[in-house]
Amino acid sequence: MTKYRMMGLKALVLDGLPKVIHKPREITMSEWNAKELTIEQIEYACLDAFVSLELGIFLSKHRREIIQYLENTSPKKIVNLTLESDQTTNDSEQLDDELNLRQSFGEYEEEESSARSCEVNFGRGNKSIQTNIDIRHFTFLELLIVKEQLRKIAKGEYTTPIIERRKLGTIVFAAINLPVPEICSSLDNLAQKNPKVEAFLQDKHLEHNLKKTHLTLAHKRSHGVTAVASYGLFLNQKVPVELTALLFTDKMAALEAQPGSVDGEKIVSKNEWPHATIWTAEGVAPKEANTLPRLFSEGKATRVEFSPPITISGTVQFY
């Protein structure tokens, strides 16, 4: 059984009894293409997507497609999701302890035998997100089957899997981790062609001092949790990165860079100036490298282009 990935989802309250629930098996592409989705698969896709987006859990492309499909389908069958979270805390442990899941099913109508309404409430607090989602293949028989499975779980007749979750508070930003040896090699080649670059690099000893570097895609403080979470689609995937220029002053240096595409989908950094910081003087914060384009426009920084641009590969990671 596939482990269910949702932070804080511990129990379902149905008919007044708490029940720990598991995630159904993964939806195959053939089922998805044929729209042969069961109530379990759809409900969990809905819950997983909307709760994950708010709390910073990272969605797969597959689940995101399911949500987009459900939102665009005829509104005969509606699931009403209400998500509440505490605005005053980012502490994942406290959120996890306080999250509570309740689900109630609407009355059955014979003329709409497949129509149902359920309301889901998470946590406490004063922030609420409410979304209507369209449901396919939501039959009364399937509803009974699911309720029976939940009753078995409540009686201890079901062994529940370990819930996997990412701590919201531990994720600060999304970035493309770049290979240091390739960066150093590219800079050496640039130095051979440009005396200014050679003079700048001669005492930096980047081959020893540059341990790691990255191209930031989104930062929780600057762009929000949702922006960081959106890169979960590309987590651990290789991404081509084009190095276009080196910008530097006597206090810092960074590589101007542009992320490429993964499976035809362009990765776009939320930063106004996508770059990888490679050096800062003592006492200078790496984030100060963001000012290099402005300093260059003011004549206070040097910019040397890679001609042609150099393409290297990096890996999307969360930090």
Domains of the chain, by residue range, sit at 12-168, 171-318
CA atoms within 13 A on the CB side of 255: 27
Tell me what pLDDT residue 54 has.
36
Gyration radius of the chain's alpha carbons: 25
CA distance 201 to 199: 6
* pLDDT exceeds 50 at position 273: yes
CA distance 103 to 118: 6
How do residues 105-117 score in pLDDT, each as one tens digit? 232 232 233 333 3
Query: What sections of the chain are H helices per DSSP?
Result: 29-34, 39-55, 61-71, 92-98, 140-154, 180-193, 195-201, 206-209, 220-223, 225-229, 292-297
Look up residue 117 and give its two tokens: 């309404």
Q: Which residue has the tokens 């290297």?
A: 312
Q: Between 143 and 98, name the one with better pLDDT.
A: 143
Chosen CATH of 171-318 out of 3.10.450.50, 3.30.2310.20, 3.40.50.1370, 3.90.1740.10 = 3.90.1740.10
Tell me what pLDDT residue 29 has.
55
pTM listed for this prediction: 0.52
Q: Between 218 and 153, name the one with better pLDDT.
A: 218
